[in-house]
Chain A
């Protein structure tokens, strides 16, 4: 398979910017050391379509890949988009279902204010134009976990349009260069989530859980401005950080709060775009990058072998590492969109259009929401760079690793050591250990205070840098470090002490 060929273009970069899934294949061979040596002259890759370098045997044409994304983010809210049912992950099946969610005849949708506010907030954070008037539509298809036979969405006039998302791709001959990239956001629309179908093939039964049916989603449509899996993955990671900073979605991909579909095509630069395929249900950022790169290469191979690309839906099989046609039985769906007649147009106000004496509970003021926007990741990173003189890419790593920024800030608070030293220790030594042992920051045996104390000792030259590293090793229960200490004790006692007892005593003393 051709997919691995693509790796050269992305190796190392994901380490710094897109890695969120715990163990990563890219850790191999470069577990420790400075992040900076991960990046090797990749500006051309970041600037141009990834596949220009892939000359074929025929060697005549270069290929460019075009990637667009549709991202569904579950809105973090207490109740569903159009009903009062609670929203909770992993509740007992069908325990969070209102009459409306079950589509009982005669029930009507009632819009959840919180979901509208979340959409406006997200739109503002993504530089969108917020439509003062937006509309709801019905999208029809028959599926067992869609009880009404249609989904309420915003097809014609969505709540937010024409935004942009800026994300950083690392590049440059110097290791430290982060190239900002922009992907345009076509629109953000409010829509209902579907229920879940559980297929029991043994008994040829399908079980339906409607807990998720009607949960509010933000569908964020990213224009096809990306050209490889890495760019898409990095853009999604940035979006995830923004949603989490806003609190509009928990955006946890493993729990399905963030789901990504990718539209992929390849063409020769200067020629019309190729036929695109849609790869569905990408449930981790790593698989997203993998699936896109696989699909790009598959399309290139197909075309170079005289084949053609079908406009089809494909799914990614993470075990096989490839995409496969989903072979929709019904072929191309006609969703028969229709205005939702039970919901009047959604009207939003700003300071200038707000009617005098309007009840604040009855209206949504865009300007008021703008004022309450929290600090966005890009600003946090800028502050880190300015305040601590760190490289921009380091600030990316601090934000990308869940909990790492907080850890870093706690260490900074408690130590006399210079910020640059703290940065280097947290990003290289500490993070390196975590990666090696496949731990999340929250699972770290080293507390921020312990690291701060260690750095203080280092700062006052009480211990040397290599001794400090040994302490880290011990604190991290590195067996080699303990064994080394055991060896020293045995040497001092001329091998008369019992190694087991030495180990016990050492562990007690080190309070491991």
Chain B
């Protein structure tokens, strides 16, 4: 049962094959078993069981709230949850219990979803590995998969197994690990420059960043307000569409949500053929750092579309190379501003120093934030100084407009969807990852995802090492349904293999019942 998709388990609940409480308990037990992954910061066991009980009553009374009723979900620990600690993986917010729910959390609960817990991340979502949070790094479940282990046995150079675990990518690595290890059926991440799509690619999941303005940010503790979007992590595209259907829509508490009525629910048609589609391949995304495996899968995917009748053309996004530096200026500036409220006065960490208010601020912030956060605050404040504002912030805003126009121009030239890699390569071992600092890593890892408004990463195939590789589909803003429809067609063609975690879950035989064999369609 645990290995099923959200849609499948939802059907099972409706048919009474399993009760919400049974499902909840299975997930809780798996959460305990996979505790070493460090996917969760807080497991909200009592809350989840109580919600399950209520859901069960509704099912008994034939008053199910819909597809999400009784479905275990997890939420990244930068979304406010009423009565449940919300830390952003930072000392600064350890012990902080918000008095309100983020709109997206409330919407999921209103649909009957069960909140299993709050998932791990890089501190304040600043990172691309889920390695830089105060609660320690998240381990990629694929490190323990049969597929990866078998490949490693073949490799004579493989080192000590236990120290060789892989990162999940980030910053929503906890959410990705939680879904990937079957501890829940969907999870909320947040995506600013790739924080949902990147770990989705590394963990073999669907990672979706909806259009900015489609989903409320109210209650999401911000990284970059002008780019943050609540992200969705699921095992398949249809599941992402179900969750999007529950979340999308205007929110009077978030003035940046759009008011146009939207088609609900986001039911995805099954495309019979793709002959009317035009797929764009941005030539600037073919960078030297791209691993040959990813490059090869990317071109096979393009071939697949072409062989099925789609028009595949090369497009140019000429300002791509500026996106990382542009993002750096805008991101750090907003970070500097957003972090100003953490002063120890009203909530969160407060130091013991009380000589003066200023001394208290300084010590509180030094103790509360890690180096990455402090570094970004420092650079952001530099860019916002009166003497630097025009040369950095305003210039970066102009460059952002040019980059955004690149996409608009591509779509206006007749392209429906852009096809790109999500990451340069598959997940790397933790020990490898930490050889570079957070900033270098973020710049490399988010190279394809940073400048993008609405996009989805789809798992495509396993690498030679037995690890997932994802490709990204980028759509026109507010054409989320069209994008997911194309992604769903693609997903069906590639038949990405299910992660095999028998060793982890030897008593959860249910997983095996739904196991699919690796497809050969895109295998190298």
User: How many Cβ-Cβ contacts under 8 Å join chain A to chain B?
Assistant: 98
Instruction: Flag the segment in A101-109, A390-398, A479-487 that touches B.
Output: A101-109
Instruction: Flag the segment in B128-136, B176-184, B252-260, B491-499 that touches A.
Output: B252-260
Residues of A105-150 whose CB lies within 8 A of B? 105-111, 138, 140, 142, 144, 147-150
B262 at the interface (CB under 8 A from A): no
B340 engages A142 (CB within 8 Å): yes
With A341-B225, A344-B255 given, is the CB distance from A105 to B345 under 8 Å?
no
A150 / chain B contacts, CB cutoff of 8 Å: 337, 340
B386 engages A334 (CB within 8 Å): yes
B340 engages A106 (CB within 8 Å): no
| Smallest Cβ-Cβ distance to B219: which chain A residue | A106
Residues of B244-264 whose CB lies within 8 A of A? 252-256
B86 / chain A contacts, CB cutoff of 8 Å: 105
CA distance A107 to B345 in the complex (A): 17
B255 engages A149 (CB within 8 Å): no
Partner-B contacts on A (CB < 8 A): 99, 102-111, 138, 140, 142, 144, 147-150, 206, 208, 329, 334, 336-338, 341-344
CA distance A505 to B337 in the complex (A): 75
**Seed contacts A106-B222, A149-B339, A334-B386; 17 additional CB < 8 Å A-B pairs:** A103-B346, A104-B98, A105-B221, A105-B342, A106-B219, A110-B255, A111-B255, A138-B337, A144-B357, A149-B341, A334-B385, A336-B337, A338-B333, A341-B256, A342-B254, A342-B256, A343-B255
- Of A104, A106, A206, which contacts B357 at CB under 8 A? A206
- Of B217, B253, B357, which contacts A110 at CB under 8 A? B253
In the assembled complex, 24 residue pairs joining A and B whose CB atoms fall closer than 8 Å, in A order, are: A104-B99, A104-B100, A105-B80, A105-B88, A105-B98, A105-B222, A106-B80, A106-B221, A106-B222, A107-B219, A108-B217, A108-B253, A109-B255, A140-B384, A142-B343, A147-B346, A149-B339, A149-B343, A150-B337, A336-B337, A336-B381, A337-B386, A341-B334, A342-B225
| Smallest Cβ-Cβ distance to A109: which chain B residue | B255
B337 engages A108 (CB within 8 Å): no
A84 to chain B, nearest CB (A): 10
A102 / chain B contacts, CB cutoff of 8 Å: 346
CA distance A102 to B393 in the complex (A): 28
A144 / chain B contacts, CB cutoff of 8 Å: 345, 357
B386 / chain A contacts, CB cutoff of 8 Å: 334, 336-337
Would you give the 0/1 interface string for B316-355, flagging 1 where the beta carbon is closer than 8 Å to chain A? 0000000000000000011011011111011100000000
CA distance A104 to B253 in the complex (A): 14
B225 engages A336 (CB within 8 Å): no
B217 / chain A contacts, CB cutoff of 8 Å: 106, 108
CA distance A253 to B98 in the complex (A): 37
Q: Would you call the interface of chain B mostly helix, strand, loop, or mixed?
A: loop
Assign chain B's interface to a size class. Answer: 35 or more
Q: Would you call the interface of chain A mostly helix, strand, loop, or mixed?
A: loop
B385 engages A148 (CB within 8 Å): no
CA distance A107 to B221 in the complex (A): 8
B361 at the interface (CB under 8 A from A): yes
B220 / chain A contacts, CB cutoff of 8 Å: 106
CA distance A108 to B224 in the complex (A): 13
CA distance A336 to B224 in the complex (A): 16
CA distance A103 to B339 in the complex (A): 11
B226 at the interface (CB under 8 A from A): yes
A138 / chain B contacts, CB cutoff of 8 Å: 337
Q: Which 5 A-B pairs have the closest CB atoms?
A: A149-B340, A336-B384, A341-B225, A341-B226, A105-B221
B418 at the interface (CB under 8 A from A): no
CA distance A153 to B475 in the complex (A): 35
B93 at the interface (CB under 8 A from A): yes
B489 at the interface (CB under 8 A from A): no
B389 at the interface (CB under 8 A from A): yes
| Smallest Cβ-Cβ distance to B252: which chain A residue | A110
- Of A108, A337, A341, A343, which contacts B218 at CB under 8 A? A108
- Tell me which of A99, A147, A336 has the highest count of chain B C-beta atoms within 10 A of its own C-beta: A336
A148 / chain B contacts, CB cutoff of 8 Å: 340-341
| Smallest Cβ-Cβ distance to B102: which chain A residue | A106
A341 / chain B contacts, CB cutoff of 8 Å: 224-226, 256, 334
CA distance A492 to B220 in the complex (A): 89
A344 to chain B, nearest CB (A): 6
| Smallest Cβ-Cβ distance to B213: which chain A residue | A344
A150 to chain B, nearest CB (A): 6
With A105-B93, A206-B357 given, is the CB distance from A337 to B99 under 8 Å?
no
B339 / chain A contacts, CB cutoff of 8 Å: 149
B341 engages A337 (CB within 8 Å): no
B273 at the interface (CB under 8 A from A): no
B385 / chain A contacts, CB cutoff of 8 Å: 334, 336
CA distance A337 to B393 in the complex (A): 10
A111 / chain B contacts, CB cutoff of 8 Å: 255
CA distance A232 to B217 in the complex (A): 46
A330 to chain B, nearest CB (A): 8
B150 at the interface (CB under 8 A from A): no
A115 to chain B, nearest CB (A): 14
A106 engages B218 (CB within 8 Å): yes
B226 / chain A contacts, CB cutoff of 8 Å: 341
B371 at the interface (CB under 8 A from A): no
CA distance A107 to B338 in the complex (A): 11
Residues of B179-228 whose CB lies within 8 A of A? 217-222, 224-226
With A105-B80, A106-B218 given, is the CB distance from A140 to B357 under 8 Å?
no
B284 at the interface (CB under 8 A from A): no
With A106-B98, A106-B222 given, is the CB distance from A140 to B345 under 8 Å?
no
B358 at the interface (CB under 8 A from A): yes
B337 to chain A, nearest CB (A): 6
- Of A105, A109, A140, A147, which contacts B337 at CB under 8 A? A140
B384 engages A337 (CB within 8 Å): yes
A78 to chain B, nearest CB (A): 17
Residues of B228-275 whose CB lies within 8 A of A? 252-256
A106 / chain B contacts, CB cutoff of 8 Å: 79-80, 98, 102, 217-222
CA distance A480 to B423 in the complex (A): 96
B256 / chain A contacts, CB cutoff of 8 Å: 341-344
CA distance A414 to B255 in the complex (A): 55
B222 / chain A contacts, CB cutoff of 8 Å: 105-106
B99 to chain A, nearest CB (A): 7
| Smallest Cβ-Cβ distance to A102: which chain B residue | B346
A341 to chain B, nearest CB (A): 4
| Smallest Cβ-Cβ distance to A141: which chain B residue | B340
A206 / chain B contacts, CB cutoff of 8 Å: 357
A337 engages B253 (CB within 8 Å): no
B79 / chain A contacts, CB cutoff of 8 Å: 106
B80 to chain A, nearest CB (A): 5
A263 to chain B, nearest CB (A): 19
- Of B252, B347, B361, which contacts A104 at CB under 8 A? B347
CA distance A374 to B347 in the complex (A): 46
CA distance A208 to B343 in the complex (A): 14
A110 / chain B contacts, CB cutoff of 8 Å: 252-253, 255
A342 / chain B contacts, CB cutoff of 8 Å: 225, 254-256
With A99-B99, A108-B255 given, is the CB distance from A338 to B80 under 8 Å?
no
A103 / chain B contacts, CB cutoff of 8 Å: 341, 346
B38 to chain A, nearest CB (A): 23
A105 / chain B contacts, CB cutoff of 8 Å: 80, 86, 88, 93, 96, 98, 221-222, 341-342, 347
